[in-house]
Structure formats: C-alpha cells, structure tokens
C-alpha cells in the first residue's frame, strides 16, 4: 500500500498564515480538507525519488529508473517536510 502526503488544509495553497482558508473565510486545520484543495507548489515540486522513503532501498518499486526528478505511484515521504 502506498503512503502519500494527505491533501489537508495544512499543505493547501489556500491556507493563510493565520490558519484562515482564503476560499471559505473560516479557520481550518490539519484535520480538514475540501474539493478546492490545491497542493502548495513547493511541496508538489519536492515529490520525487530523492524525497521518497524508498529511494535506493530494496523496496523501491522501480530501482532501475529511480532518479532525481523522477517519481512513481508508490512515492512515500522520507521525512516531515515543513509546510
């Protein structure tokens, strides 16, 4: 089973610094999400083999193709990325 980043308000581009949603004008948190979710561009860019938990490990799904800038469907976050 693939482990992925969740689409929550915490990594949504519509979350402002005071935890207000700029779409709905309400306070939100990491437990919430909605259909207007938009992944922060920086986090989306960071999803590649070098930030994958499986990079250069035996459980990599595509060991012959894994490389910086590449990614596959079972990418899993290597560590907590700051939002």
Instruction: Map residues 23-42 to x or -, x wherever contact with ligand SF4 holds by CB under 6 A.
Output: xx---x---xxx-xx-----
Question: 37 CB contacts (<8 Å, ≥6 apart)?
Answer: 7, 8, 9, 12, 14
Under the binding rule (CB under 6 A), the answer on residue 55 touching ligand SF4 is yes
For the bound state, the minimum distance from the C-beta of residue 8 to ligand SF4, rounded and expressed in Å, comes to 7
# residues contacting ligand SF4 (CB under 6 A): 26
Listed in sequence order, the DSSP H helices in the chain are 41-46
Under the binding rule (CB under 6 A), the answer on residue 21 touching ligand SF4 is yes
Place of tokens 């948190």: 29
């Amino acid at each position: 089973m693939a482990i992925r980043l969740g689409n929550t308000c915490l990594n949504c581009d519509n979350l402002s610094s005071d935890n207000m949603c700029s779409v709905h004008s309400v306070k939100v948190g990491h437990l919430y999400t909605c259909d207007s979710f938009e992944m922060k561009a920086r986090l989306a860019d960071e999803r590649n083999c070098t930030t994958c938990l499986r990079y250069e490990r035996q459980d990599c799904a595509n060991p012959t193709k894994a490389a910086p800038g590449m990614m596959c469907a079972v990418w899993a976050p290597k560590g907590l990325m700051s939002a």
